[in-house]
Amino acid sequence: MGQEAARAHAHLFDHRRRAPRRAARLRVHFSSMTPSVLLIGGSSPLGRLIDAELTASGSDVLATSRVGEHSLDVTDRAGVDELFTSASFESVVYLASPTATDPGSSRAHLDALDHVLRRARDAATRRFVFVSSAAVYGTDERRPRSESSPLAGSTPYAMLKAGSEKLLVDAAGDEFLGISLRVFNVWGPGFRRSLINRLLDATDAPQLQVSESFVRDYIHGADVASAVGAALALMAPGPLTLNVGTGVGISNAALAGLAPPGSFLSAPVGPPTFSVSDPRRAQQVLGWRAAKSVADAFRAPTAMSDGGD
């Protein structure tokens, strides 16, 4: 991480002293039950897939979101305290993120995550899975990223994820397994901003830099959900970081060859950019690997697209 990015990261991470107070919004309310998994951020497309995956495997899941039946604002400390007082959870999956990435919002989010981690650990929660992002690696290095690759991401979003991972490492211990899953480019039902989804949607022709030098690792949301499920079965102590990707880089030029005619508009080619995972550690530790491919999506687009979701 360069000096400028490091200074920005340090400014962002200094959240305990300067995080602004936020007014309480919503509290969680639920009937008498003892869920085994608390899913924070369960109304997002990925949250819904994780909820379905865990429920199908036999877990009792309490999925919270900012609004809805089980509403929770993670920046509302009283609401978080009420939740952990009212129920016990063997595991927590954390998907919450701020709606903006300005320094104030990011510091408030880090402060909220720190509080949730403390309450979960004090309540004898055994596993805490934080859904991070491959953005922490940046896109300059033209080789697959392993978990030991430098954290070169300099965007506010990347630095927020890196700061969140550090909180999890600091909180983890022998009785509290903290797992950060660095997820690469997600596509599939509900992920409308994904380039793959937009190419499959005939009503939304995106601009595409048709280039061999724009390369991404695209992973289906259902595969991410299965990785989360596998992580919740781990018993190992201490902090753990794993890449969640396919390990297969696909260039925009390759996507242009797969996509139906007229499904995109050619855009000027920009600088080289590369983001591909080395997923071998996750495959070894979790016994998991991605099952769906982008090529399959274009061969059977109606089965892989949003389908109106």
* Residue 237 located in a structural domain: yes
**Which among 228, 217, 235, 204 is positioned nearest to 40, based on CA atoms?**
228
pLDDT for residue 305? 54
* Residue 89 located in a structural domain: yes
pLDDT for residue 18? 40
pLDDT for residue 20? 40
pTM score, whole prediction: 0.87
Residue 105's CATH number: 3.40.50.720
* Residue 262 located in a structural domain: no
pLDDT for residue 300? 75
* Residue 88 located in a structural domain: yes
* Residue 37 located in a structural domain: yes
* pLDDT tens digit sequence for 155-193: 999 999 999 999 999 999 989 999 999 999 999 999 999
Domain count, the chain: 1
Show the domain range for 115. 3-186+219-246+278-290
Asked if 13 and 163 touch (Cβ cutoff 8 Å), the reply is yes
Q: Which residues of the chain have pLDDT under 50?
A: 2-8, 10-11, 13, 15-33, 307-309
pLDDT for residue 218? 98
* Residue 34 located in a structural domain: yes
Asked if 309 and 190 touch (Cβ cutoff 8 Å), the reply is yes
Q: How far is CA 13 from CA 23, 102, 108, 247, 280, in A?
A: 21, 13, 10, 30, 30
Return d(Cα 105, Cα 117) in angstroms, integer: 18
